[in-house]
Structure 1
């Protein structure tokens, strides 16, 4: 919990606790806003608490600076890996991924839109990036819609009499990054015909609707489409019969190839350069969880400036691909597999290419036998091991049985990056489960606001 935020949310909570009618009205308005804008993940409301996440401007600056330096280091690793098969092998790509990442997307940035997922505890080195979502970062439009919903709450209006609380937009940064990539691909500035592409049954469909509105507000033709409805003929891609020049790719590359194949209309059109797709296939390299292992491995330190090296040491927890080798740890040189076996309480095992918390084993939550079995799995298929980080918590107000209840929940900090370096908004997820993953079926999203006393 950030010490600078304490007086701000204490003031907010006291407003709710002191006035039952204000709290009840605020809960009613929030529920109405959630239903009006379809802010549900599947059939579950996206937000279940009555307060946004507060960051001070200094905290947001710290996050932005760290993202800029770590993002720069990620791109240097990517560029080096694209030119060096030996370095690239550390990422654990499959044979078909190795094929696809070499397709030229028509623009220079591998991940025009991305998200660094972190935990932000107190202290100078409290910000720790634990994953890099370089492929399909969700939540930006949800953040903006939730921000609008919270601005309408009566309690927020009361809070604004003593504090300045400003939302941090994220969706516009995503759309702007998409358009920059399209203009580079096209070679001139013109409006694309956009399909927001994913399976029609996914629980994030409600966010696609929000992005569709964002495109329409800019006078851009956009619609939501399913890869199963795509056709490619005569150098032209259509989805459900509608011509497409840009794909806002929300479908996972793994799922696209597994379900539709490398010879599917979408894959062929992108590889032929007949359509612009963001993020492109080459985003897959850094999206692998092994990217944090490659980034923090002593073998790559020479790629970075002194400032980037310091940022990686401060903000990326010690991470390695699980394999038989010797490596450096903060405690000194270690034999990796025996070290992992002996330090269950301080380590996490993660599959290299899963999402939604699947396959993650938190060493301190399991017994020795389960941990040993997890290590055997990790040696048989691509896995990373990562140092445990402090997971912060804050008190959050919610309506329970008609009254305000304030209870602690853990929270993460997940800034959105435009073109790999510029922070544009920040996702916050809260939960009682340390995985803090909405996709996994737990937790709640809250909008992120900048706050300062008047």
Structure 2
């Protein structure tokens, strides 16, 4: 645990309930209340500022490596690259649509701190990642006197995700602004998406309104093209569309790709900016990260780049024949061993207690198999399923550092673990939030797969 976490819990235990109940007493805007109040952890998470800043710099370096992979490893042949990481032709064609070849530096890295350093679990790239509204929580907590005093004494700070996002939106919308003032931004989901994610979207609207950004919610079928080529939502022209739909949603919708065409045309014409383009999906696939630790390609990176990969990425391999180069999980040298899918599956079978299987394009822990929570028979079945489906990634286990959390309702102190979401923009580190589970509550820390997962605001300290 960190010393500051222990200090916070000790003060909660010694105090009159003021600090312990700060989260419960924090005044939060109504949409945020509706979306997240019932799922908030009763304390924030603390990160060391210098360490987090260094990790964010590594993430920028890793982003640059990822977007270089098609040229670096496949001579610019995007078809070979997509085949290698398990992206099918239909999805690859869609990801190309409206792209510039240079995806926006925007995303959220999900990471664990293992007590020594940050380790990257996945790199979610593109504007559909959500989460910018968590800055509202930080601001609300700082208005509680007992927490404000704790923050003053321990020099706590935070980078406001919403403020950083507002700056990005203003900058990106500038070419499409028809006049001065602030841009009008559409937060656009796929068909049926507002029903599923409307509460979170309304919280995002609330957070951006505090930043002076007019954010409007809609679905892809609600948007029309005006006579001037500009997109409009309910008759209101949009300067920028903040894309909250994924390419996979478009493919699953029989009318999805057709409905998306006006967005691409308006973007290409400079009338309404699409942020971000779908091409981010070429690099957020977990199989792209697996290429970076695969010994077949180690000669394509210089010593500093290999050191960066070793520093932040756990051992990872994609379970399909094209990418089945084996090597010892956790080996610092990543020495190549016998090739072939059968060898890789055998290696994964032997190292069950050290591996987790994830779908390359999955999210929220869905369709994930946890080796150390499986029997040998269950793991063998999981490996067969992963090979049959294709695109699953085997990743070495990262054991997150547990932290104490005082529950003001029960008066108990329990150990929790957090999956940290580190946001990145062109300007670098753009804030963080976290998802947390009890340390004994299972390996997957995800709102979609574990109902006991809690959202957490993050503060940094010297």
Shift of 1:365: 0.4
Q: Of 196, 203, 208, which residue of structure 2 is paired with 1:202?
A: 196
Aligned to 2:139, which of 144, 148, 162? 148
Q: Which runs of 5+ in 2 are unaligned?
A: none
Tell me how far apart the structure 1 counterparts of residues 291 and 181 of structure 2 sit (CA, whole Å): 38
Give the Cα separation in 2 of the matches to 1:57 and 1:343.
Answer: 35
Establish whether residue 416 from structure 1 lines up as the match of residue 413 from structure 2: no
Q: Distance in 2 between matches of 1:304 and 1:369?
A: 38
- 1:110 corresponds to: 103
| Conserved? CA contact 1:23–1:155, under 8 Å | yes
Q: Which residue of 1 aligns with 2:317?
A: 320
How much does 1:368 deviate? 1.5
* Distance in 1 separating the partners of 2:44 and 2:9: 11
Which of 134, 148, 166 lines up with 2:157 in the alignment? 166
CA–CA separation in structure 1 for the residues paired with 2:184 and 2:90: 28
2:456 to 436, 439, 446: 446
| Structure 1 residue 76: Cα displacement | 1.7
How many residues align structurally?
Answer: 436
Task: Map 1:18-57 to 2 at 5 A.
Answer: 18-23=14-19, 26=22, 28-30=24-26, 33-34=27-28, 36=30, 38-41=32-35, 45-49=38-42, 51-57=43-49
Match of 2:308 in 1: 311
Q: Distance in 2 between matches of 1:153 and 1:215?
A: 22
> Where does residue 393 of structure 1 map in the other structure?
402
Q: How does 1:338-417 map to 2 (within 5 A)?
A: 338-381=346-389, 382-401=391-410, 404-417=411-424
Answer whether contact 1:345 1:363 (CA < 8 A) is retained: yes
Q: Secondary structure at the match of 2:129?
A: coil
Question: Which residue is 1:13 aligned to?
Answer: 9
- Does the 8 Å contact 1:78/1:285 carry over to 2? no
Counterpart-to-counterpart distance in 2, 1:449 and 1:24 = 16
Of 49, 64, 78 in structure 2, the residue corresponding to residue 72 of structure 1 is 64
Contact 1:323–1:379 under 8 Å retained in 2: yes
**Residue 250 (structure 1) aligned with residue 231 (structure 2):** no
Q: Is the contact made by 1:185 and 1:276 (CA closer than 8 Å) also made in structure 2?
A: yes
Q: Which residue of 2 aligns with 1:429?
A: 435
Q: What is the TM-score when the length of structure 2 is the normalising length?
A: 0.85
Q: Which has the higher contact order (CA 8 A, sep 6+)?
A: 1
Determine the C-alpha separation between the residues in 1 that align with 2:13 and 2:210: 39
Match of 1:134 in 2: 125
Q: Indicate whether 1:230 and 2:223 are aligned.
A: yes
Deviation at 1:268, TM superposition (A): 3.7
CA separation of 1:89 and 1:447: change in aligned 2, threshold 3 A: same
- Do the aligned partners of residues 449 and 104 (structure 1) sit closer, same or farther apart at CA in structure 2, a change above 3 Å counting? same
C-alpha distance after superposition, 1:130-175 (max 9, x if no partner): 1111132221222x11101221234313424632111221122223
Consecutive unaligned residues in structure 1, runs of 5 or more? none
Maintained 8 Å contact 1:112/1:181: no
Cα displacement (A) at 1:294: 1.8
**Distance 1:263-1:362 versus aligned 2 partners, 3 A rule:** closer
Structure 1 position 347, deviation (Å): 0.9
Kindly report the root-mean-square deviation, in angstroms, between the aligned alpha carbons of the 2 structures.
2.8
TM-score by length of structure 1 reads: 0.87
Q: Residue 27 and residue 171 in structure 1: after superposition, are their counterparts in 2 closer, same or farther (change >3 A)?
A: closer
Structure 1 residue 417 displacement after superposition: 0.6
Distance in 1, Cα, partners of 2:424 & 2:395: 23
SS in structure 1 of the partner of residue 32 of structure 2: coil
Q: Distance in 2 between matches of 1:339 and 1:173?
A: 43
- 1:236 deviates by 4.0
| 1:87 to 1:78, Cα distance in 2 relative to 1, 3 A | closer
- Per the TM alignment, residue 187 of structure 1 is displaced from its structure 2 partner at its CA by 12
- Structure 2 CA distance for partners of 1:78 and 1:344, relative to 1, 3 Å: same
Q: Deviations over 1:92-145 (max 9, x none)?
A: 112222112222445x6414420111111122xx32101111132221222x11
From the superposition, tell whether residues 160 and 23 of structure 1 become closer, same or farther in structure 2 (CA, over 3 Å): closer
CA distance in 2, matches of 1:343, 1:316: 18
1:59 counterpart residue number: 51
Do the aligned partners of residues 371 and 83 (structure 1) sit closer, same or farther apart at CA in structure 2, a change above 3 Å counting? same
Q: Which structure 2 residues correspond to residues 89-128 of structure 1 after superposition, within 5 A?
A: 89-105=83-99, 109-123=102-116, 126-128=117-119
Q: Deviations over 1:301-322 (max 9, x none)?
A: 3443422221111211111110
Task: Confirm whether residue 289 of structure 1 aligns to residue 286 of structure 2.
Answer: yes
C-alpha distance in 1 between matches for 2:309 and 2:20: 45
- Asked if 1 retains the 8 angstrom alpha-carbon contact of 2:294 and 2:325, the reply is no
Cα distance change on mapping 1:146 and 1:78 into 2, 3 Å: farther
Q: CA deviation at 1:259?
A: 2.1
